[in-house]
Every structure is written in structure tokens, then in C-alpha cells.
Amino acid sequence: MLGVVQVPATGKVYWAAKGQGAWVKGGPSSESQNQPQTPTSKRLQAALYEPSAPGLTIVGSSSHWSSETAEFFSQFKDPTFRQLGSSLKLLMVAEGDAHIYPRLAPTCEWDTAAAHVIVTEAGGSVIQAGKCDSKGHALEDWRAVLEKDDPVVYNKEDPLNPYFVVYGRRG
């Protein structure tokens, strides 16, 4: 299993292979633009945190905010919310810049598979939070499914992902 995500806006490339760790290379540099640059690779490690700790960083998308997302968010003490697009939210968790990313809206396998292995190899997890239909309506109680702590799986007959939550390294 191998995942690669390139972020043209930052110049970063993230990759991971099962059992080999997660890595990032590139990004902004303070060196002069006239000097040749050889970006170095950095091993990623998801942030270790206690779910009850105040001030956790939770990433999401305001365009996919739902009552389920609001309910999920409300269980944390004084969290910081940061908005970002696409698989960048999973990468923030893998890089340790965020603790949690709840996705209680529809996505497909191709939206998450590459970043999923990067999160997992960085020590995080991508956990199922209940099936939904293509319009984002919950078909299961997300709280009950999330408690099972089952990872999201791929290569299903239907490429629609269930709701999910991405966690850093939970203490």
C-alpha cells in the first residue's frame, strides 16, 4: 500500500508506504531564490494528545458543516477550528499540525485513500463513523459506529466512504 499527495500551492509532496513510515519533502524555504535548493525529507508523526485536553486543533470545512459535525465538535473543551480544503485536512493530522478531522459528509475512496495511508503511517487513524448516502444523509448513528473504532476500508463495491474521523495519536 502506497500513498502520494502533492500540494502544488506549497510545493510539498507527502508519501507513505505501509510499514515504511510517512514523509514530506519540499515546501517554502527561507533560502535565496538564486541558490540551488535540495529539499530534505522529514518523517511525519501525528501529534500525541489527550481527547479531554482543552484547546485541541480540529480541522474541517465550513462548506460541509452539519448538525452532526456541530455535535461532534461540542464534545471538546475550547477547541480551535481551522478550515482547509480536500485531503489537506488529513495531511495536517499526519504532520501533527491538527489533532482531529471529523468528516460527517460524503466523500469517495479516491478523495481519501492516499492521505489515509500517510495518516496511518504517521501514527494516526481514520475511523468509520457510520454510513451515509451520496447526499450526506446519515444511514447509521455516527456515535455508535465511531465507538467501535473500526478503520475505514477501501475497494468496496460502492466507492462512497462512510462518515469518518481522523485522529492523531490518541493518548
Angstrom CA distances, 25 to 13, 90, 166, stand at 5, 16, 22
Q: Which fold has domain 47-170?
A: D-Maltodextrin-Binding Protein; domain 2 (3.40.190)
**pLDDT value of position 32:** 46
Average pLDDT, 10 consecutive residues per value, the chain (171 residues): 93 96 82 61 96 96 82 94 87 97 94 97 98 92 97 95 97 88
pLDDT of amino acid 142: 95
SS3 label, residue 120: helix
Contacts of 100 (CB under 8 A, 6+ apart): 56, 57, 58, 59, 76, 93, 165, 166, 167, 168
- Residue 24's Cα: distance from chain center in Å? 15
- Predicted confidence at residue 66, as pLDDT, reads 82
Distances (CA, A) of 124 to 38, 45, 46, 163: 29, 8, 6, 17
pLDDT for res 27: 76
Can you give the pTM of this predicted structure?
A: 0.91
